[in-house]
C-alpha cells in the first residue's frame, strides 16, 4: 500500500473485501441497535398490560432492560478472551446465530422470568458481535478511512433504533410486541447465508498469529496499554449509560411529560436519526484531526442538549435538542468504538474492543436502572435529564486524559493490503 496516501486501496480485491466486511458487519450491528431500542418501544405495553407477561413495575422494567446488557457484557468479554485466538470470521458467524435464536425465543416468552433470561441470552450474542465487528473493520480498511468505516458499521446501532421506532409506530397494533421481536430474529435467515459465502477472515489476524507473546487481554495489562485501556473503558461506560438510559426511558419520560404514545416514540426516532447523521459527519472529521477531540466535543454537545430539554422550549426546539442529544450520546459511542478499534495492535485489538464493549455495558446496565429509579421516585423529567447531562460532562473530561497509542511495529504485505505484524 502506498503509505503516502492512507486512502489508497491495495487492489480491487482489497476494495471488494472491505465492501463485503462493512456491509455484513453493518447489517449485524443494525440488529444490535434494533434489539436495544425495541425493548423501549414495547415497555409501555408490558407495563400497562399485565396479561402479556405479568405485573411489571418501573423498577422491574429497569431490571429487565439491564438483563440484556449483562448478557452483552458477558458476550463481549468472552469474545475478547477467545476472539484474538479463534479469528474474526468465526466469532461473527457464531454470534449472528446466537443473537437470532435469542430474539426468536424471547418472542415466545410466557412470563417475566422467562423473558428476562432470554434477554440475557440474546445479549451474549449481541456483545460478541459488537466486540468483533470493530476489530474486523479496522483490520481491513485503509488507515485514512478507518474512523469513517467504523462509524458506518456502528451507526447500525442508531439505524437499528430508527428501524425499531418506525416498525413499532407502524406495526405494533398489528403484530404486537411478539411480532416485533420475531423481526429481530431475521439475521439467521437473511444474514447468515450471506456471511458464510462472502465474509473473509482478517489478513492482519492471520499474519499476526505467533508474532506476539502477549495476545488478547494479557496485552491490555502491559505498560503500553494499561492506562489508556482503563480510560477508554470509562469513556465507553459513560457513552453506553447515556445510550441505554435514554433509549429505554425517553418514550416513558416524554409520555409522562404529556405526549401521547406515538408522539413519545417520535422522540426516540429523532434521537437515533440524529445519531446516524451526526455520527457519520463527526467520524469524517475524526479521520482528519483524530478522534479524541471529536469525542470530547460530542460529549459536550450531549450535555448541552440534555440541559435544553429541561427548559420548557416549544416542540420544535425539543426535537432539535433530542437530535443533538442523539449525536452526543449514541453518536459519541459510535466514535468511541472507532477510537478503540484503531488504538490497539492486531494482537490486542479484539480484546481492546471487547473490553470497551464489555466494561462499557456496565454503564448500559446502570442506565436503565438509573432511569427506573428516578421515575419510581417521582423525579421530574428535568432532573432526570440533568443527571444524564452530568454523566456526559464526566465522559468528556475523561476523554482528554487518554494517552496517545504508541507506534506500532513494522508492516508486512498480504494479499489485500499492508498490515502490521503486531
The structural domains of the chain, ordered by start, are 12-420 (1.20.1250.20)
CA dihedral 314, 390, 238, 233 (to 10 degrees): 150
Q: Rounded to the nearest 5°, which phi and psi values hold at 88? A: -75, -45
pLDDT score for 179: 92
List the alpha helices (DSSP H) in 87-155.
88-106, 112-140, 146-154
Cell of residue 244, nine digits: 441505554
Contact 360, 233 (CB under 8 A): yes
Cβ atoms of 407 and 422 within 8 Å: the answer is no
User: Residue 364 corresponds to which cell in the numbers above?
Assistant: 448500559
- pLDDT reading at 191 higher than 70: yes
The reported pLDDT for the residue numbered 209 is: 58
Least trusted range by pLDDT, from 67-81, 112-126, 252-266: 252-266
Say if residue 416's pLDDT is above 80.
no
Residue range 359-375: mean pLDDT, rounded:
80
Using a pLDDT cut of 90, give the percent of the chain over it. Answer: 16
Nearest to 368 by CA among 40, 31, 55: 40
Is pLDDT of 407 > 60?
no
| 72 in Cβ contact with 130 (< 8 Å) | yes
Q: Return the closest-CA partner of residue 344 out of 164, 80, 9.
A: 80
Q: For the whole prediction, is pTM greater than 0.85?
A: no
Residue 183 has pLDDT above 80, yes or no: yes
3-state secondary structure of 412: strand
How far is Cα 309 from Cα 259, in angstroms, rounded to an integer? Answer: 14
Residue 293: count other Cβ atoms within 10 Å of its Cβ: 13
Please tell me the least confidently modeled range out of 92-96, 105-109, 232-236, 372-376: 372-376
Q: What is the pLDDT of residue 409?
A: 46
Find the largest Cα–Cα distance for the chain. 64
Q: Is the pLDDT confidence value at 421 over 60?
A: no
Average pLDDT over every residue of 346-359? 79
Highest mean pLDDT among 225-239, 312-326, 369-383: 225-239
The band of 8, judged by pLDDT with boundaries at 50, 70 and 90, is: low
Beta-carbon contacts of 254 under 8 Å, excluding residues fewer than 6 positions away, are: 263, 264, 267, 381
**Cβ atoms 271, 37 nearer than 8 A:** no
The pLDDT tens digits of the residues spanning 203-243 come to 666 665 555 556 667 778 888 888 888 999 999 999 988 88
Cα–Cα distance measured from residue 420 to residue 55, given in angstroms and rounded to the nearest whole number = 55
pLDDT at 337: 84
Per DSSP, the residues of 275-294 read HHHHHHHHHHHHHHH-HHHH
Is the pLDDT assigned to residue 100 strictly greater than 80? yes
β-strand partners of 329: none
Q: Residue 3 — very low, low, confident or very high, per pLDDT cuts 50/70/90?
A: very low
Q: Is the pLDDT of residue 414 over 80?
A: no
Amino acid at each position: 500500500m502506498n503509505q503516502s496516501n492512507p486512502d489508497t486501496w491495495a487492489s480491487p480485491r482489497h476494495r471488494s473485501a472491505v465492501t463485503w466486511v462493512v456491509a455484513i458487519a453493518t447489517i449485524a450491528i443494525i440488529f444490535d441497535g434494533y434489539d436495544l431500542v425495541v425493548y423501549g418501544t414495547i415497555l409501555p405495553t408490558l407495563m400497562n398490560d399485565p396479561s402479556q407477561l405479568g405485573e411489571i413495575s418501573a423498577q422491574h422494567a429497569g431490571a429487565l432492560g439491564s438483563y440484556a446488557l449483562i448478557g452483552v457484557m458477558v458476550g463481549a468479554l468472552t469474545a475478547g478472551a477467545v476472539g484474538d485466538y479463534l479469528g474474526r470470521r468465526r466469532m461473527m458467524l457464531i454470534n449472528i446465530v446466537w443473537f437470532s435464536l435469542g430474539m426468536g425465543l424471547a418472542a415466545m416468552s410466557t412470563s417475566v422470568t422467562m423473558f428476562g433470561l432470554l434477554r440475557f441470552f440474546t445479549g451474549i450474542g449481541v456483545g460478541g458481535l459488537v466486540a468483533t465487528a470493530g476489530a474486523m473493520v479496522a483490520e481491513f480498511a485503509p488507515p485514512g478511512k478507518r474512523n469513517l468505516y467504523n462509524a458506518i458499521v456502528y451507526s447500525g446501532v442508531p439505524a437499528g433504533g430508527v428501524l425499531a421506532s418506525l416498525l413499532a409506530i407502524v406495526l405494533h397494533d398489528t403484530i404486537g410486541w411478539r411480532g416485533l421481536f420475531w423481526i429481530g430474529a431475521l439475521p439467521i435467515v437473511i444474514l447468515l447465508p450471506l456471511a458464510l459465502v462472502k465474509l473473509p477472515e482478517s489478513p492482519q489476524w492471520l499474519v499476526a498469529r505467533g508474532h506476539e507473546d502477549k495476545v488478547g487481554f494479557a496485552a491490555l495489562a502491559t505498560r503500553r496499554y494499561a492506562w489508556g485501556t482503563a480510560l477508554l473503558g470509562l469513556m465507553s461506560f459513560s457513552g453506553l449509560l447515556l445510550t441505554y438510559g435514554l433509549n429505554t426511558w425517553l418514550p416513558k419520560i416524554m409520555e409522562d411529560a404529556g405526549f401521547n404514545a406515538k408522539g413519545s416514540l417520535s422522540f426516540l426516532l429523532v434521537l437515533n436519526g440524529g445519531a446516524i447523521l451526526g455520527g457519520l459527519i463527526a467520524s469524517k472529521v475524526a479521520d482528519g484531526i483524530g478522534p479524541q477531540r471529536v469525542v470530547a466535543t460530542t460529549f459536550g454537545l450531549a450535555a448541552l442538549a440534555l440541559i435544553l430539554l429541561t427548559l420548557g422550549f416549544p416542540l420544535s426546539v425539543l426535537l432539535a435538542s433530542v437530535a443533538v442529544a442523539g449525536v452526543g450520546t449514541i453518536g459519541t459511542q459510535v466514535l468511541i468504538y472507532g477510537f478503540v478499534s484503531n488504538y490497539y495492535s492486531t494482537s490486542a485489538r479484539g480484546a481492546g474492543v471487547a473490553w470497551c464493549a464489555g466494561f462499557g455495558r456496565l454503564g448500559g446496565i446502570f442506565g436503565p436502572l438509573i432511569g427506573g429509579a428516578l421515575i419510581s421516585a417521582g423525579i421530574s423529567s428535568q432532573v432526570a435529564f440533568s443527571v444524564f447531562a452530568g454523566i456526559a460532562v464526566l465522559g468528556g473530561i475523561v476523554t482528554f486524559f487518554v494517552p496517545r497509542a504508541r507506534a506500532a511495529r513494522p508492516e508486512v504485505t498480504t494479499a489485500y493490503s499492508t498490515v502490521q505484524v503486531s
